[in-house]
Structure formats: C-alpha cells, structure tokens
Chains A and B, each alone.
Chain A
Amino acid sequence: GAVVSQHPSWVICKSGTSVKIECRSLDFQATTMFWYRQFPKQSLMLMATSNEGSKATYEQGVEKDKFLINHASLTLSTLTVTSAHPEDSSFYICSAPRVLTGNTGELFFGEGSRLTVL
C-alpha cells in the first residue's frame, strides 16, 4: 500500500483563490519532504524542500510567497498555492525519504495532485 499519501488528487479552482495540498508519510517520520511540479510530458521539477520545524528551502525561480510550504509535524507537509492563476495549473507531487542506513534513503512519492485554475 501507499506509504505517502497526497490529498486532494485533483482540484479545480477559480483564479485568485488559494489551494492547499497535503502530503503525509503514513508509516514513517520524515523530517524532510520534497515538492515537485510536473508539466505534461516533462520530468519532475523540484520546487522546494520542506523541513520540519524550520523554513522551506526553495529552488531558484520558485516564488516562496506564491507557494507556501508548512511542515508542522514529522508526518505532514502542506503546499499552498496562493492567489492561483491559470499558469499555476499543473501536476504537483510530493515525496518523502525513508532513511535506510546512514545517509541513504528510499524516496516514496504521493499520487500527485492535479490543479486546474480557471
């Protein structure tokens, strides 16, 4: 079964509204989670690294005020797309690493959330 749960799987909203996407690790704790964005027929683009108890680390070109990330617990990270516009329509995927040994881990991904902004 899934070890990382993402919700909602799809959402349609009006331009100007905010949308929150949740990412949960189900049977392990994750001090770090990753948020990706994927455009059609393209690979995943890392948007930001979510850090439990501290600020997220954003990739170059990603607006931190536009994409708010909160990692309030060891099993939950949220991504809020604020004042969404049609160009924000995309597939958003989160992932969480489960530590195997030392500094290596296996990444598990959520099912993704398809956002459509009208």
Chain B
Amino acid sequence: KQEVTQIPAALSVPEGENLVLNCSFTDSAIYNLQWFRQDPGKGLTSLLLIQSSQREQTSGRLNASLDKSSGRSTLYIAASQPGDSATYLCAVLSGSRLTFGEGTQLTVNP
C-alpha cells in the first residue's frame, strides 16, 4: 500500500525567502507525481506534474524534483510572496490509485 508523507506539516516564513517542501512515498513504482495548491475552502489547483521518467519540472518560481528510487520529491518555491500562502499537497499515482500526502500549510508573512 502506497503511503505519502509530507514534511513539514506547517511552515511560516518571511516574504522573499526561498523554501523547500518535502514529499516522500513508500512504493517507487509510480506513474507520476503531482503537486497541488489548495486555498482554504477551495478545490485543488495543479501546480506541477512530473512523469516517472522525469527528474524535475519548472513553472515560474516553482521547481519540483523527483527521485523515484529514493521515493522523494521536493517543491522549491523561490522568492516567496504572501500570495503563496496555502496548503500544498503532493499526490502519487501508482497502479490505478492516487495517494495524497497530508499537506504542508505554508504561511508567508509580509
């Protein structure tokens, strides 16, 4: 059974700081890994999708890496802004099942 863990559970940083969110998974036989953002009371917004054959994906100030063999992914956010405050979820697609981590609640203080 796939298990996904995200560390830290919560993170508070001053504006402008670069930060890293971590995601680990127990079964390396995955199709892809996806990072999402969720604002309070809202649905999920897809940020980055990394296929199992890829090592990283970039979108603007976001960079996600994938090390399938070690079961790890990181989401790097550069020059954080207050608007980045949200919960960030990683999800791993393996078999026919998508497994979510518990999320990291990020607060960027002005």
Tell me the dominant secondary structure on chain B's binding face: strand
Interface stretch, picked from B20-28, B66-74, B75-83, B95-103, is B95-103
Tally of contacts, chain A with chain B, CB under 8 A = 49
B110 at the interface (CB under 8 A from A): no
A93 to B43, CA, bound (A): 7
What bracket does the count of chain A residues touching chain B fall in?
A: 20 to 34
Q: What is the chain A residue whose CB lies nearest that of B105?
A: A41
Question: What residues of chain A have their CB less than 8 Å away from a CB belonging to chain B?
Answer: 6, 34, 42-44, 46, 49, 91, 93, 95, 100, 103-112, 114
The reply on B106 being an interface residue by CB < 8 A is no
Which of the four size classes fits the interface of chain B? Answer: 20 to 34
Residues from chain A with Cβ under 8 Å of B31 in the complex: 103-104
CB proximity of A43 to chain B, nearest CB, Å? 5
Task: Quote the shortest CB–CB distance from B53 to chain A (angstroms).
Answer: 9
Interface residues of B (CB under 8 A from A): 31-32, 34, 36, 41-46, 49, 51-52, 89, 91, 93, 96-98, 100-103
A34 partner residues in chain B, CB cutoff 8 A: 98
Contacts of B52 in A (CB 8 A): 104
Query: Which of A6, A103, A107 is close to B91, meaning CB atoms less than 8 Å apart?
Result: A107
> B98 near A111 (CB under 8 angstroms)?
no
Q: What residues of chain B lie closer than 8 Å to A42, measured between beta carbons? A: 102
Residue in contact with A111 in the complex, picked from B43, B93, B96, B97, CB distance below 8 Å = B43
